Chain A
Amino acid sequence: MNAIPREMRAFLWRDARQLIPLVAMLVVVTTLILTLWLFTDDNFDGYVPSVWIPLILPTLLAAGCGAILVGNEKETRTLKWIASLPVQPARVFQSKLLVATVALIAMWLAALLLLVGMSVAGSDSIRDVASLTKTSIPWNVSFWVVHTIFILVAGMYAAWRIENAFGSLVAMIPIAGVPISLATISYKCYLIASGHYYDQESATALATLFTLPAIALMVWLGYRAAIRFFAADPPPRVASSANESQQGLFSWIDPWKPPASGIPSAKPFRISLATLLWQAFHQNRLAFIGLSACVLLGMICLALTATQRSYNLVGDSLNLFWVAGFFALSWLGVLSFCGDGSAKSLKFLADRGVSPSTVWLGRHLMPIAIVSAALLVYGLSQRSILAGGYLRAGPMFSMAVITAVMLVIYGVSQWTSMMIRVLGGSVFLAPLLSVVCIGWLIAQWTWIGSPVWVMVICIALPYAVTLMLMKRHMDDRRDLRFWLINFAAIAVGIVGLPIAQCAYQISQFPTISESRRAELQSMAMKFGTDSASPFAIMRVDWNENDYLSKTWDGKPTGQQIAKRLDAIQDRPQDWLEIPSRASQPLQFDTSVLEASIGSAEYYRLRMVDDPSEAAMEQFEAWCEFLIEYGQRMRLSSRLWDQDGADEVAIWLTHTFAKTEMQQFWDRPTTREAMQFISAADDRNEARRRAVLESWTEYHDNIESDSPSRSDFGGYYSLLDFQSTPDFQRPYLVDRRMDVIASVAIEMIDAAENGASTMPMRQLLHQVLFDNELAFDSGPYSDRSAISAMSPNFSGNPNQARVPAVKWYGPWEQDAITLYRSWQKAESTQRQSTVPEVK
């Protein structure tokens, strides 16, 4: 340690201290992006390579070191003070280079640790850290290590060489691309000359090879620039002739001349808005003009990108220009409160009591004018592109959207520049934070479902905060309150408000109280959850045992099928494999039920035409099967199967109510049918059990993370939310299921007590079709309930089935009426057949 000279130790300590804010900012930003990545991992992994997140740390540090260690010191003129001290300039250069290198090594270690952590966490983009050293250039970690060293020394050189800090930062961007561009051009020339194919490993190796000497060159150039900076200023040239004096060169007598205007102005200092505008513009005139031109050009190119010219050289250039426009806009925002002499000029205005809001307006009016002009240019370009017809262009964002995006970029950037007064920090952080903020707004729109007013607040907040803090900024007061306001605006306004609004939206979705949940749970306990799982009815495979041989086209002949039909009686067991145990619940299969009703109807019509014993037996075989099917679906613990049982009951009610069927009312099958359709209490009990068991099973599956959790009592469609944002869905699904269960039980209770079921049906409609379908058009309307037609015909054909649609519809009253008529007819018949007792 003693080997290091004393002044060198002081420089090292001083430079290290200067880098601390940049390191802290990078850590905060990386943590923020990492947090967002963790939240959006499932959605964006694969689209946004997560390998870039750890790379932020070393890359931005390398790019910012020059601006912080040299540019900032030039702006504050502390380097000039150092130059006046009796120290060797080389020591100053060495100290800064050493501190920057050590910081870069530290950042790389942190980045590699992060990469390892993320690969352990299982990111799709980083399966194996070691493999990242073998990929092509943008993701090749070993190349990045070398390249960040080059960026670091290039940044240092630019900062030493160029007086203007912002200019040095901008100049660094093309310098950073020189080695890789030279390597690419050389490699492509080599490929053309040799006829070889592109090999990414060779390309990466060549780029590294070009970068290594470039590093040495930049260090040497930087050293020279530093030495030149510390060298004494050349003496002013003295005019040796009258001619030269006329050209503006001083002569030795000039300083002693009296001023040209002897009388001071009556109003020496005017604080009008125009003056402030003038000052804002002239303070960074070159930068301002350059950035404005970039923004305007970027907007034209953005409009042109929609002309479907992408994937070629022109399209790529357009993309390059609008990306440049994005950076330019962000830096325009940065220049509002940062930049050469900005702090001094603001302090100057503060000292003269100029209103902070006037100064704030003065700093923003010019960039806002540029943004507005750029938007008008965008609108006009867009209009002229589309004037030739829609087919000339692909989708292009409207001016309103681009306005919002530009306001976000500019707003976030100017806020960043107020928080981080170091130009080097703001210049790199502002575009990054703008992108994060745009991403957050897009997420609000598409994923969280924030309303427009929330997004407007998020866009306006950065402006409101800088206006509020303008006075402190002008006074250069960065006390606790300053940071608290900034923190509160981010935490409450930008992050908290959309989440709170989303939480409010979720809370407005119907749900059940804890007491109701407990009540449902206790009801479910009474039934228990040990019901047998319902079995599916399988179709008999006629191809089994090679009964049907195939023809040339793979299909049987009519003769073969007809023979098979002759061999069977066309009874249910000829077509279906029905589980034999009567207590075994069955699953509702729509195609089986439709075809069975078709067969039953066919034989019923035959029987009505010819009421022979054989015809009756055939009808009764199908009818008895349907009754048994209905009964065994009633045994099921799934809501879906209960609704299948209802379809059977509806068919039986309509069928046996027909006048022509009254002649068969004395048959045992009719008795069975009547018992099935009239058993309202059993039906209610079965529905109640199915609701509670479906609900309990749904929650059990969620807790056990079972793969079968995607249904509720056999209904898969209940988990679909058509227009609900993705983020809200997981929170709404459970609420929806709870409400369905609770309302279904309420409906059963209401029907048992003779009350109307309309309020329950309305609530079911609300939780399933809110904002998507009017109640009268939905499946729970009266119109749908009275319809005996199949749901495919009576409702929207694309609409999925939903539970309890036919519960307590008019058919249930019809069933009771029919049962009473049948009972009456049967008792009359019994009386007429009983022999008269004398």
Chain B
Amino acid sequence: MGRQAKRSTEKLYLIAVILPPVLLVGSFIADLSLRSRAKKEVINQVELLSPQVRGISQSRDRLEEKLSPATTADFPTADWYVIARSGERFSSALVHDVTDAKELVPPGQEWLAAPLIEKLVDQERPLLDRLSQLIDDEAASQSNQDRQTDVRLPLSILPPVPTDMLRRAFQVAYHRGEMDRCLKLLELMLAAYGQLGNPQIAASAARHFVYPLLKPSLQYNVWNADQLAKLREIAEPLADVRSNWIATMESMLARKLDTLSLDGSSLIDGSSAVATNDQAPFETDPRHILQVLDFYESMIAAKNPGTMQHIDRVREIDNDYYNHQLPGFSLTSMPFAVALDSPVGQRLVGAYRATDSFESVIQHKLIIAAIAVRQYQAKTGDMPTQISDLRKVGLTSEDWRLFGSETLLIEGSNELLKLSTIHLKGWLMKQRNEATNSSIVVPRTTLEMWSGAE
């Protein structure tokens, strides 16, 4: 009996001593096994993703081929690059130092920078003529296949369009009251981006380069009815928010993959392959990569970009990721248990981009409404008194509805009309702080529109 008790005590000692190391080693083995399974899954998922990500590379390669043929014999008479370079000569660089150089000044008003800008624009007129010719040639020669391929080039790779030169020409034409020329320049700018890149580039270019010229130009009654109709044509198809959202997220995903040392991701920077840093155990935990892929997949799949529901959904995805998940929690990661390389740095980027998408829709509605105001004025001789007056020029309530009960607003007099929209970021901030301070006024941004030309 005594010996049996002694033996059971011995066993107890041995079990108590052996169990913790066995559990520890077992948990390490289980972790490594899960890690290895996740790694296979990552390879499969990246393989599935690669056509989208590689599309960025193909688009970039085609652009480079177009701009820089392999031998001198292939060089066209005048190429894009030459025009872009000519716009960067010594004298054109002087505009950065001049007062009011970036202002859009209406006809009849004093413009301090005018003598220099006009001089430069006169010098550059042959360059713009060449650009126009080049666009026509490109349009004629471009194969159908190129047009049909839906590839998205991120804005970080801007084709060499002489945007500054085009902006200067627009400023001068506007100041001189040459509105047909202004219209042509806007079309030229969009066509240049459209020809060198793709429709998405043209859409992004519109927001970045065309709206900042078009919007202030509508402050004065300088466009005639035909020109306004043309402006509506230019501005209306630009809001391809869904494609832009997908392009933005894919571009962010590609960059993310780049930081995770996955092949195919640094295509954005022009590399067709990347050396992988695969020296275990210092690699990024594949379970974390799976989470990142899921995160971006959810972001890309978020419905109705350019709406308030979309912003809410993106925030939900963000919150779910940061508050309810362990970012790549691992027992065997080196050196940290959770991946610090999670999209933490981009935490606000998702919501920011979603807000940005919606802001682009709002700005687009504002531009269309502003053109419609001028069309109404051209048609009736008076400024509209309320937003619903714009039905007379073909706008519907959908065109001025923003979200919920918020709409574009028209205020002011026949002399000075104020067309205003919600300032989205301010509105969101108010919504966030409403519980603590309900007296915050909903912020709006206003476009002042004078009935006259000056």
Contacts and interface: CB of A to CB of B under 8 A. Distances in A.
A398 B72 contact: no
Nearest to A591: B93
B403 interface: no
A595 B89 contact: yes
A366 B13 CA distance: 9
A659 B14 contact: no
Interface in A387-408: 387-391, 393, 395-401, 403
Contacts of A345: none
Interface in B54-79: 64, 67-73, 75, 77-78
B90 A398 contact: no
A275 B10 contact: yes
Interface residues on B, range: 35 or more
B338 interface: yes
B398 to A, nearest CB: 39
A773 B270 CA distance: 11
Interface string A232-273: 000000000000000000000000000000000000000011
A388 B319 CA distance: 12
Interface stretch (B115-123, B214-222, B229-237, B242-250): B115-123
Interface stretch (A70-78, A369-377, A528-536): A369-377
Interface in B106-146: 111-119, 123, 126-127, 130
B64 A773 contact: no
A786 interface: yes
Contacts of A599: 89-91
B116 A562 contact: yes
A393 B337 CA distance: 11
A561 B98 contact: yes
A383 B75 contact: no
Interface residues of A, number: 86
Interface in A581-608: 594-599, 601-602, 605-606
B162 to A, nearest CB: 11
A356 B226 CA distance: 102
A565 B272 contact: no
A811 B72 CA distance: 8
A794 B68 contact: yes
A798 B335 CA distance: 28
A395 B156 CA distance: 32
A721 B301 CA distance: 40
B49 to A, nearest CB: 19
A275 B17 CA distance: 13
B115 A774 contact: no
Contact of A594 (B85, B269, B274): B85
Given A399-B337, A594-B85, A660-B77, A390 B325 contact: yes
Contacts of A551: 99, 112
Nearest to A550: B99
Interface string A808-819: 001100100010
Interface string A774-793: 10110000000011110001
Interface in B256-285: 266, 269-275, 277, 279-281
A85 to B, nearest CB: 44
B90 A272 contact: no
A417 interface: no
A794 B270 contact: yes
Contacts of B71: 786, 810, 814
Given A275-B10, A391-B322, A796-B269, A559 B115 contact: yes
Given A774-B272, A789-B68, A811-B72, A398 B98 contact: no
A145 to B, nearest CB: 40
19 contacts: A274-B11, A277-B17, A365-B17, A365-B18, A369-B20, A383-B326, A390-B326, A397-B336, A400-B334, A551-B112, A558-B111, A559-B112, A598-B90, A601-B86, A605-B126, A605-B127, A658-B72, A771-B277, A776-B272
Interface of B: 9-11, 13-14, 16-21, 23-24, 27-28, 64, 67-73, 75, 77-78, 81-83, 85-94, 97-101, 111-119, 123, 126-127, 130, 156, 160, 266, 269-275, 277, 279-281, 322-327, 329-338, 340, 342, 344
Interface of A: 272-275, 277-278, 365-366, 368-370, 372-373, 375-376, 379, 382-383, 386-391, 393, 395-401, 403, 451-452, 551, 553, 555-559, 561-563, 565, 570, 575, 594-599, 601-602, 605-606, 609, 653-654, 657-660, 723, 771-774, 776-777, 786-789, 793-798, 810-811, 814, 818
